Amino acid sequence: MSEPAPQSLFYRQMATQLGAGVPVNEALAALLQQSQPRFFRESLTAVSASVLRGDSLNRAMAACPRHFTAFHLAMVAAGERSGDLVLALRRLAEHLEEEQSFRREIRRELFSSKLTMAFALLFWPVVLARFAGNPVLLVLVGVLPLLLFGLLLLVGAVLPRLSGRSTLWEDRLICGLPVLGRTASLIWQTHFARNLSFLYHAGISLPEAVRWSCDASGNAYLAGRTRVCAVRLDRGEGLAGALESVGLLDPVMVTMLKTGEKTGNFEEVLDKAAEHFRLMTGVALHQLKAALGLAAVLSVGLCVGLIMVAAYA
C-alpha cells in the first residue's frame, strides 16, 4: 500500500492535535519536527512562520498554492469561520484519502490491461508492413487497436480526476462526457451535501454556506454553475427551489431538501442526502470500473486476435 499524501496526513495530524487543545502554531511546530517530504516541508515552514506572525491558518496556506488548493482553503476558511476547524480538517483528510484510494484502485485495475495491450502492440509495425497493400485490413489491424489503446489511456487519465484536483476546463469536459459526467456529478453532490450540512450546523447563513460548499466540493465547473443560486437565497427564496432552478442536482436531492424545509429538520435531511449520494457514487464507480475492465479485455483480445490472423494468413 502506498504512503498517504502529505496533505492528507497533515490535515489528519492537525485535526488530532487541535482536538486535543494544542494551539495552531504549536501544532505546526510539532509537525515540522517530524519527517516531512522536502518539497512539502518548505510550504509547511512558510505556513508556520505566517501563523506565528498572526495570520489565520487559511491565510497562511493561501500563500502556498502549490500544495493547498482553493478547495482546501475553502474548507479551512469555513472551519475557522464556523469555529469547528477540527471537523473541517478531518473532512479534508477523509476527502483526500478517498481520492488517493480511488486513484490507486483505478491504476491497479488498468495496469494489467495496459501492459498486455502494450506488449501486443510491439508487433504492430510488422503487421502494418504485412498489410500495407490492403487498406481495409490496414485500418482494422493497424489503426483500430491503436485507437482502442489510446482510448484506454485517456479514460485511465480522466477517471482519477473525477474527485481530484483539476482545472475549470477539465471539469467542464469531464461533466460533458457520458457515464463519466454522471459519476463526477454524483461525487460532487456528495461533497456538496456533506459540506452544506457541516456549515449549516455551525450556524453559517444559508446563502454563505451554499457559496462555501460550492467552492469546497471539488468541481470548479459545477461549483460555478451552482453558486449563482446563492443570489436567489439572498432574495429570500427557499434552498430547494433555488437549487432546482440550476438544473444540475439530482431530483432525489431536491425532493429531500423540499421535505427538510417543510419539516424543519433540514440538517438531518442534508446528512441523509450526503449518505444517499455516497452510496450512489459507490455503485456508479463499481459499474464504471466493471465496464472499463470489460472494454480493456475486449480491446486486448481484438488486438491480439488481429495480430494472430495477420501472422498465419
* pLDDT tens for each residue of the chain, 313 residues long: 445 578 888 999 999 999 999 999 999 999 988 877 888 888 899 999 999 999 999 999 999 888 887 778 878 888 888 788 998 899 888 877 877 776 676 677 667 666 666 666 666 666 666 666 667 666 666 666 667 667 666 666 666 566 555 677 778 877 887 777 887 888 888 888 887 887 777 677 788 888 888 877 778 888 888 888 888 888 888 888 888 888 777 888 888 888 888 887 777 888 888 888 878 877 877 777 677 667 667 766 666 676 676 666 6
CB 228 within 8 A of CB 309: no
Closest CA to 69 of 92, 87, 90: 92
User: pLDDT value at position 20?
Assistant: 92
Q: Give CA–CA dist 220/4, Å, rounded.
A: 25
Q: Supply the pTM of this predicted model.
A: 0.67
Phi and psi of 278, rounded to 5°? -65, -45
User: pLDDT value at position 24?
Assistant: 93
> What is the DSSP track for 240-299?
HHHHHHHT-S-HHHHHHHHHHHHHS-HHHHHHHHHHHHHHHHHHHHHHHHHHHHHHHHHH
Question: What size, in residues, is the chain?
Answer: 313
Q: Give CA–CA dist 278/294, Å, rounded.
A: 24
User: pLDDT value at position 141?
Assistant: 61
- Neighbouring CB atoms inside 10 A of 222's CB total 25
User: pLDDT value at position 18?
Assistant: 93
Q: Give CA–CA dist 181/219, Å, rounded.
A: 11
